[in-house]
């Protein structure tokens, strides 16, 4: 009898469960009034889920599978995100600091006499540069002078044979044209002796190269200015990928002035190709032009160094990896490279820079 009484007490204290229209609803305990509870109260007092507050989780779509584009749909240009570091050694900084002492506005030292500034510091066969022009080109905030650009191109282009590590001599697969060639091509001056010299097949064999670079110095006349300003960019004949490529640090091919200049140059190049390479298998008449997204300049004076960096780094696949923050060190490194290059016939440059 004592056990029966204990069981009855437990039954009285447990909540009753009733069925309404086939649905289970938790009711109040036997000791309370017969009133339905709110969902919040049910969550606190009842362990049986109700129709008012369903325990079914909200619908969540399954994670979608990431599809990798096929090889044909992938961009042919690679940007691996690895940024090149441009570090200057102590020697590089010393040479650069010695060069910029000969800038036009710096005339406090006795060694900076006009005769001293006119001394030749770069001599590459047909191109020479004096201390004043070199200093005015590489100093921060200065534009690259065309004569310095011509000498710099000589360090980037070497038509001679080079050693490839296997005791054989192999021709460099890319060529860089002199800066002045672009002006002849824009004016359709195909019979100029300089143009014939760089395109002649017996001397150059351009059809054996993978890429041919045409540095361009275009004269632009902005609105509100009566005089034109120069802007450097690069046009590439890519024989390996069968297309022309334009690398401009400020504009795209949608720019009218850039499009007109490129069209004139491409027409001249195609005409010269028919003249000097009529029997080659590499036909360029149907080549289109591709706009390469290269690093952008944030001022109006670094376009020349952007052009030189694009010549040095562009291989048809990997996007050049540098930005505007690297320009100060790039100017220093290029200055040191031009002066110490093996093609520079000036051997006493240390004496001229007062570094002895």
pLDDT class of 296 with cuts at 50, 70, 90: very high
- 156 vs 37, residue with greater confidence: 156
Which pLDDT score is estimated for 110? 40
Mean of the pLDDT values across residues 41-63?
A: 56
Question: For 68-88, what is each residue's pLDDT tens digit?
Answer: 556 555 555 655 556 678 899
User: Above 80 in pLDDT, residue 310?
Assistant: yes
106 and 143 share one domain? yes
261 and 304 share one domain? yes
**Residue 340: inside a domain:** yes
Which pLDDT score is estimated for 76? 57
**Residue 56: inside a domain:** no
Mean of the pLDDT values across residues 30-48?
A: 49
User: Above 60 in pLDDT, residue 39?
Assistant: no
Composition of the chain by helix, strand, coil, percent to 5: 35, 15, 45
219 and 350 share one domain? no
Which pLDDT score is estimated for 109? 45
Q: Pick the closest to residue 294 from 252, 231, 326, 242 (CA basis).
A: 252
**Residue 252: inside a domain:** yes
User: Above 50 in pLDDT, residue 267?
Assistant: yes
Which pLDDT score is estimated for 21? 46
In the chain, % of residues over pLDDT 90: 56
- 99 vs 38, residue with greater confidence: 99
202 and 344 share one domain? no
Q: Pick the closest to residue 149 from 160, 131, 132, 134 (CA basis).
A: 134
Domain hosting 295: range is: 164-320
311 and 188 share one domain? yes
Structure tokens at 53: 């507050």
Question: Is the Cβ–Cβ distance between 135 and 96 less than 8 Å?
Answer: no
**Residue 149: inside a domain:** yes
HEC per residue, 24-85: EEEEEECCCCCCCCCHHHHHHHCCCCCCCCCCCCCCCCCCCCCCCCCCCCCCCCECCCCCCC
- 253 vs 10, residue with greater confidence: 253
Question: For 184-208, what is each residue's pLDDT tens digit?
Answer: 999 999 999 999 999 999 999 999 9
Which pLDDT score is estimated for 77? 60
Question: What span, in angstroms and rounded, lies between the C-alpha atoms of 247 and 230?
Answer: 16
Question: Is the Cβ–Cβ distance between 265 and 259 less than 8 Å?
Answer: no
Count of the separate structural domains present in the chain:
3
Which pLDDT score is estimated for 169? 39
Mean of the pLDDT values across residues 175-185?
A: 96
Which pLDDT score is estimated for 318? 87
37 and 92 share one domain? no
137 and 92 share one domain? yes
173 and 259 share one domain? yes
**Residue 54: inside a domain:** no
Residue 220: how many other CB atoms lie within 10 Å: 15
6 and 30 share one domain? yes
**Residue 108: inside a domain:** yes
Question: What span, in angstroms and rounded, lies between the C-alpha atoms of 274 and 285?
Answer: 9
Structure tokens at 85: 């570091």
136 and 92 share one domain? yes
Residue-wise burial string across 334-351, b where 16 or more C-beta atoms lie within 10 A, e elsewhere:
bbbbbbeeeebebeebee
Residue 308: how many other CB atoms lie within 10 Å: 22
Question: What span, in angstroms and rounded, lies between the C-alpha atoms of 104 and 318?
Answer: 38
Which pLDDT score is estimated for 168? 38
Structure tokens at 44: 């606190």
User: Above 80 in pLDDT, residue 155?
Assistant: yes
315 and 336 share one domain? no
Question: What span, in angstroms and rounded, lies between the C-alpha atoms of 192 and 211?
Answer: 23
**Residue 65: inside a domain:** no
Q: Pick the closest to residue 239 from 198, 268, 210 (CA basis).
A: 210
Question: What span, in angstroms and rounded, lies between the C-alpha atoms of 260 and 265?
Answer: 9
pLDDT class of 223 with cuts at 50, 70, 90: confident
199 and 267 share one domain? yes
**Residue 275: inside a domain:** yes
- 83 vs 280, residue with greater confidence: 280
Which pLDDT score is estimated for 85? 81
Mean of the pLDDT values across residues 207-232?
A: 88
Q: Pick the closest to residue 177 from 163, 162, 159, 193 (CA basis).
A: 159
pLDDT class of 104 with cuts at 50, 70, 90: confident
CATH number at residue 212: 3.40.395.10
- 307 vs 19, residue with greater confidence: 307
């Amino acid at each position: 009898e004592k056990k029966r009484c204990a069981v009855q007490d437990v039954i009285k204290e447990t909540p009753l469960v009733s069925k309404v229209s086939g649905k289970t609803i938790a009711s109040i305990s036997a000791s309370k009034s017969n009133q339905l509870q709110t969902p919040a109260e049910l969550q606190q007092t009842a362990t049986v889920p109700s129709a008012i507050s369903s325990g079914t989780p909200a619908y969540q779509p399954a994670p979608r599978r990431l599809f990798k584009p096929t090889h044909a749909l992938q961009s042919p240009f690679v940007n691996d995100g690895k940024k090149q570091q441009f570090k200057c050694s102590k020697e590089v900084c010393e040479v650069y600091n010695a060069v910029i002492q000969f800038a036009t506005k710096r005339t406090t030292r006795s060694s900076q006499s006009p005769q001293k500034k006119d001394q030749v510091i770069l001599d590459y066969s047909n191109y020479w540069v004096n201390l004043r022009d070199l200093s005015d080109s590489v100093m921060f905030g200065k534009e690259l002078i065309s004569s310095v650009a011509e000498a710099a191109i000589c360090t980037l282009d070497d038509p001679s044979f080079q050693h490839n590590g296997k005791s054989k001599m192999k021709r460099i697969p890319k060529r860089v044209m002199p800066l002045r060639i672009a002006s002849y091509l824009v004016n359709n001056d195909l019979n100029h002796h300089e143009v014939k010299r760089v395109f002649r097949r017996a001397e150059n064999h351009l059809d054996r190269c993978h890429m041919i670079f045409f540095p361009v110095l275009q004269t632009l006349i902005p609105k509100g200015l009566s005089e034109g300003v120069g802007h450097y960019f690069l046009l590439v004949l890519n024989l390996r990928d069968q297309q022309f490529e334009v690398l401009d640090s400020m504009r795209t091919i949608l720019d009218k002035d850039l499009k007109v200049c490129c069209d004139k140059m491409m027409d001249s190049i195609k005409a010269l190709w028919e003249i000097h390479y009529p029997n080659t298998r590499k036909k360029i008449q149907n080549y289109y032009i591709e706009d390469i997204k290269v690093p952008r300049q944030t001022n109006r004076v670094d376009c020349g160094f952007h052009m030189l960096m694009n010549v040095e780094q562009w291989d048809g696949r990997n996007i050049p990896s540098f930005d505007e923050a690297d320009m100060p060190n790039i100017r220093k490194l290029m200055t040191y490279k031009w002066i110490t290059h093996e093609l520079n016939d000036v051997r006493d440059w240390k004496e001229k820079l007062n570094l002895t």
